[in-house]
Structure 1
Amino acid sequence: MKRWMVVGWILLFPLFLEGAKIKEICNVIGVRDNQLIGYGLVVGLNKTGDGTTSKFTLQTIANMLQSMNIKLDPKDIKSKNVAAVMVTATLPPFARQGDRIDVVVSSMGDAKSLEGGTLLMTPLKGVDGRIYALAQGSVTIGGRNGRGGGTLNHATAGRIPGGALVEQEVAFDLYSQNRATLSLKEASFQNAIAIQNRLNRHYRGRVAVAVDARTIRLQKPAGFSMIEFLAEAGELSIDYTRKPRIVIDERTGTIVSGVDIEVEPVMITHGDIVIKIDERKELPTISKKNEAVNIGKSTQVQPGNHAVVTRKGATTVANIARALKKLGASPKDIISILETMKDAGAIHADLHIL
């Protein structure tokens, strides 16, 4: 059983994990997203577009009008209802002509807002320079980004749901293949061997070989197409070993950590905050000026806002984050302290900074 903690401010919630399906922890090599990018214009803005200092916007407007047989010197263009933008999108695997994909539109110049604007037809190219989609449509502000990430809460970036039409496919013939390769999302010799053994037991033959900590080569068994084989194999579960990880988003001050990640003996001074954890039996403490907080699970508030926390078991990242929060430490301080503990070797977990 795994339990997790979120700080940003702090929220605790349980997560029960008995196993993981192979498809959840592996990718099939060759089955991948492709990034697309394009440059275009957003029109229809209410005087919130680029000013005359954005020369590239004025030149782009002049070029567009010239393609419509309207010749105009860029210096004569004074409109503030247009903004130059970069358009990005993700082309999913096996996308076909006529499919629609979401696009994200981001201002390049000094536009104040893209709200209410319309993106004109913009070719989206891949890394090979070929056009794979055409984007056009009304820009919405405050939606989520094109890959399901965080909220776009500023007016100079927006989204067009289904705003691009796929014009060209990325060819990949998986059906006729006899071999495939799985790639673990997180390198682990233990998990690679677990997948190999699980597949070989299920199909009663040597259909899988782990070649390193991330790669498992597959041989399609008789009587299956490659699509059927991958579909069935992906649903098989293994006892998945996940390396402890602390995820930190420095922009929002959010920290996500396993509650049971222990902290080794250490002493750290950060500004007016002092953290002391040793191997003796007394409670580890975090102090700030004249306040002291014992690291633990249950809390009693004494007169003078002096918080005392009784501790059971080992000191963990969750205990420290909770105690720092009680002392009024900012998310930035908490993040800095955890990074220092990791560098000092007091935390044996991957630290992932977003």
Structure 2
Amino acid sequence: MLRLLALRVLVATGFAVAPAIAADFPPRPVGQNQAGIGQDVNYRIEIAAGPSSLPTVVGPVSRIKDIATIQTARDNQLIGYGLVIGLQGSGDGLRNSPFTEQSIRAMLQNLGIAMEGGQARARNVAAVIVTATLPAFVQSGARIDVSVSSLGDATSLQGGTLVMTPLRAPDGDIYAVAQGPVFISGFSAQGQAETLTKGVPTAGRIPNGAIVERQIEARFNDDEVLTLQLRNPDFSTAIRVTDIINDYTASRFGNRTASEQDSRTILVKRPASVSAARFVAEIENLLVATDTPARVVVDERTGTIVIGQDVKIAQVAVSYGQLTVRITEQPQVVQPAPFSRGETATEPSTVIEADQSGGQVAMLDGPDLQTLVAGLNRIGVKPDGIIAILQGIKSAGALQAELVFQ
């Protein structure tokens, strides 16, 4: 039976853990929400009468496996608490991170080493949180990647080694054990007067660093109805995927098996004469012309602008000019007259200059992406100016696309 992760919150000793790879769920009957959250979704297999009369899309053609996923057994998240040792003085300060010292004592006691009174002063140990994703259908003994992140005030995990750390699911059971050298992409160098840091030296990864100890039972071949979910929801793409699968199964198995449910979900009934894995392998390589809404994505922090292929702009006139005002302070020293009782003084002097560049008016008419980009480049503005222009065009109602800010 398919085992799924059920979410609940367990609070113990000030540490919140979300338990559970949960109980077995029976096969979902028609009209029942398997997650049991919110409104039930009534999924029914209703085979379409024939191909739809959608317009031909002039765009990318992709395989079904690249635009959709099979919703059966899913990935599960694992978490663990461990220690990274072997650091070169960049570990946790045991006074500021008392849990690190407690963990060191507990680990040594488990290894049969009794620590007498006194506090440790080592700076080569760091407490870390270890996270991993347990893929679907993984078997016991397989290896998975893990991520390691510092929990205390360690400055770097470079050169450290993660000691044996059990990884638990939200139900509290151990599903993998992680251990190995930590690889980080950043570094940190510190002197008396300057510190240089590149990247994030307090987080890293251990490729193939965890061994799966328990597997999650999933019988994919028992599923009679397969659920395809599009990564980018779109009604037109969902209809085209349904038509392509039905055309293939009609010629291959003699009946139409797919039915669209909404903009994201397509249900496919598996023929009884073929296994689920073989059937998925056949339909996931079918080619589909994908469709996407017109969208402009803007990231104001980095000045990144991404314009979709179907973005169009009605004919507008755009004027862009940049006003630069420079204020320069040039104080002057004034000397008193000879043989006078005056004092040397400083007289303020301010110079203000204004310069306005650009200001040209350009006509923008974007029937396609190439014309739109050429029109924006003709104005000669930088990305921040293009962002302001796109906002103005959107406010004028001439931008026939969704403007998304990140």
- Deviation of 1:209 after TM superposition, in Å, equals 1.0
Q: Indicate the residue corresponding to 1:138 in structure 2.
A: 181
Alignment of 1:76 with 2:119, yes or no, is yes
Once residues 85 and 339 of structure 1 are traced to their aligned partners in structure 2, the CA distance between those partners, rounded to angstroms, is: 44
Once residues 129 and 307 of structure 2 are traced to their aligned partners in structure 1, the CA distance between those partners, rounded to angstroms, is: 35
Alignment of 1:314 with 2:366, yes or no, is yes
Distance 1:168 1:50, change over 3 A: same
Q: Indicate the residue corresponding to 2:208 in structure 1.
A: 162
SS of match in other structure, 2:366: coil
2:366 partner letter: A
Q: Indicate the residue corresponding to 2:193 in structure 1.
A: none
What is the number of equivalent residue pairs in this alignment? 299
Alignment of 1:23 with 2:65, yes or no, is yes
Q: How does 1:159-308 map onto structure 2 within 5 Å?
A: 159-204=205-250, 205-247=255-297, 254-258=304-308, 261-262=311-312, 279-280=315-316, 283-289=317-323
The answer to whether the 8 A contact 2:143-2:211 is kept is yes
Alignment of 1:39 with 2:81, yes or no, is yes
Once residues 254 and 166 of structure 1 are traced to their aligned partners in structure 2, the CA distance between those partners, rounded to angstroms, is: 41
- Bigger Cα displacement from structure 2, 199-208 vs 113-122: 199-208
SS of match in other structure, 2:107: helix
Once residues 336 and 109 of structure 1 are traced to their aligned partners in structure 2, the CA distance between those partners, rounded to angstroms, is: 43
Alignment of 1:129 with 2:172, yes or no, is yes
Gaps in structure 2 of 5+ consecutive residues: 1-57, 187-197, 326-355
Distance 1:47 1:334, change over 3 A: farther
Distance 1:17 1:37, change over 3 A: farther
Q: Indicate the residue corresponding to 1:349 in structure 2.
A: 402
1:125 partner letter: R
Alignment of 1:65 with 2:108, yes or no, is yes
The answer to whether the 8 A contact 2:364-2:376 is kept is no
Distance 1:321 1:171, change over 3 A: farther
Q: Indicate the residue corresponding to 2:98 in structure 1.
A: 55
SS of match in other structure, 1:175: helix
Distance 1:324 1:122, change over 3 A: farther
The answer to whether the 8 A contact 1:258-1:318 is kept is no
TM-score, normalising length from structure 1?
A: 0.72
Once residues 341 and 260 of structure 1 are traced to their aligned partners in structure 2, the CA distance between those partners, rounded to angstroms, is: 16
- Deviation of 1:120 after TM superposition, in Å, equals 0.6
Q: How does 1:97-136 map onto structure 2 within 5 Å?
A: 97-136=140-179
Distance 1:95 1:60, change over 3 A: same
SS of match in other structure, 2:122: coil
The answer to whether the 8 A contact 1:244-1:349 is kept is yes
Distance 1:163 1:241, change over 3 A: same
Q: Indicate the residue corresponding to 2:20 in structure 1.
A: none
- Percent of aligned pairs with the same residue? 41
Distance 1:48 1:338, change over 3 A: farther
Once residues 337 and 67 of structure 1 are traced to their aligned partners in structure 2, the CA distance between those partners, rounded to angstroms, is: 65
The answer to whether the 8 A contact 1:288-1:327 is kept is no
1:175 partner letter: N
Distance 1:328 1:336, change over 3 A: closer
The answer to whether the 8 A contact 1:339-1:351 is kept is no
SS of match in other structure, 2:145: strand
SS of match in other structure, 2:179: strand
Bigger-Rg structure (1/2): 2
Once residues 339 and 190 of structure 1 are traced to their aligned partners in structure 2, the CA distance between those partners, rounded to angstroms, is: 28
The answer to whether the 8 A contact 2:229-2:265 is kept is yes
Once residues 325 and 58 of structure 1 are traced to their aligned partners in structure 2, the CA distance between those partners, rounded to angstroms, is: 60
Distance 1:123 1:250, change over 3 A: farther
- Deviation of 1:323 after TM superposition, in Å, equals 8.0
